[in-house]
Amino acid sequence: MRLVFLILFLNSLFLISQSCAYDFVIKKKIKKNPEYKIAYQKLYNEVIENGFLNSQETYYIPVVFHIVYNQDSQNLPDSVIESQIDVLNEDFRRLNANASETRDEFLDVVGDSNIEFFLANIDSNGNPSNGIVRTYTDRTEFLLVDDVFSTEIALDEVKFSETDGSDAWDTNKYLNIWICNIGVLDVFGFELGQVYGYAYPPTDVDDALATIDSNIVPDWPVDMLSSDENVQGVVLHYTAVGRNNSVANDDGMTENNLGRAAVHEVGHYLGLRHIWGDAIAFSGEDGCSVDDGIEDTPNALDQAGYVCDFNKNTCEDDQLNELPDMVENYMDYSPGACQNAFTNGQINVMRTILEISRPGLINNNSSLHLNNFKINQEGNLIHKVDILGREVNTDNSFHVEIFDNGNVKKKYIIR
């Protein structure tokens, strides 16, 4: 009997580990802090009830990719990163080639989120950038958790240089995406499959609350998942990035080669849950009653299991007129080729989350400007020159001071 129980337990984890680790992370946090479940459900319900599309303007989000590699195959070229940006923009703007494959019964509830992404052209210190940081690591892999009983998310170590990862850029201004070799989840010597990514939902919104109309501010617990702003962002397994990735098949799976693992994880980052509500049938949870809390996504008993079955209808008496499971939704565990849509309800949540919880990410065009950045450190003075460019050692009259971080100051001193 114990053996049967163990096999069922491992199987439930295997299904989780085949895609993103969002639900796994959430359950770990609930185990560590039981109050989290209550607080998370409360904030999610209030966003659903109070959120609305405050405007139809396009929100532009700057992205920095941290490529943390041990092998050359993990050090993805710029072209793959650019491809990933293309996929994000096509899918979030409903410009994806397979948008026409959305089934007729869902056409009136899917839409364009008016959210776009661009590689950050300026780093958090105000320096020019291509939005890609490459960091060699001595670590051959980063594990989701050190062991299945741990409540700590060990994969966060990829986000810090002190643990041989890469430090985040200002997470209030950039969407940080870390790419690394995520180790296979292992329990008692059983390999349970590959985690392709995970993301934390929004947390620290205390600065945003003061700027938002009190009538639409949800009761958001600022310590919901982590008080550390430096862990906010998305982590991706290196094989699941872009749709032109030459090492995409190294994980032995072809269903995730279109760059949609990132689309799914950014959906979590902007507050979306899985469309089946993260219910696990093995533990007795009923996905038909748990749901994701969004009205225009039909209930589903469980995730799609990387099968694109358009005949699947696991909750036949749900409130949406017996609609089939929406396996084409980006927030299901479906093959990338099957996914093609966000619903208007999901778009509502993502835009509301941006406005309330991540307002510093919003830009009005796809480029950052130096005047948006405040240089906090003056730097070290390395040259002092006169109007002709000659070195001077005095502060008399006009001179220019040049600092090692690129800052330049003009001074005219009258004595």
- The catalytic residues are 265
Is 58 exposed, middle or buried, given 0-12, 13-18 or 19+ CB atoms closer than 10 A? Answer: middle
Across 200-225, b (16+ Cβ under 10 Å) vs e yields bbbbbbeebeeebeeebbbebbeebb
Check residue 363 and report its DSSP letter: B
Distance CA 23, CA 19 (A): 10
Reported as half-sphere exposure (CB side, CA atoms, 13 A), residue 327 has a value of 20
Check residue 213 and report its DSSP letter: -
Longest dimension (CA), the chain: 91
Is 236 exposed, middle or buried, given 0-12, 13-18 or 19+ CB atoms closer than 10 A? Answer: buried
Cβ neighbours of residue 409 closer than 8 Å, sequence gap 6 or more:
400, 401, 403
Place of tokens 């009761």: 219
Residue type, 392: V
Q: Which helix (H) or strand (E) holds 66?
A: strand 59-69
Bridge partner list, 175: 63
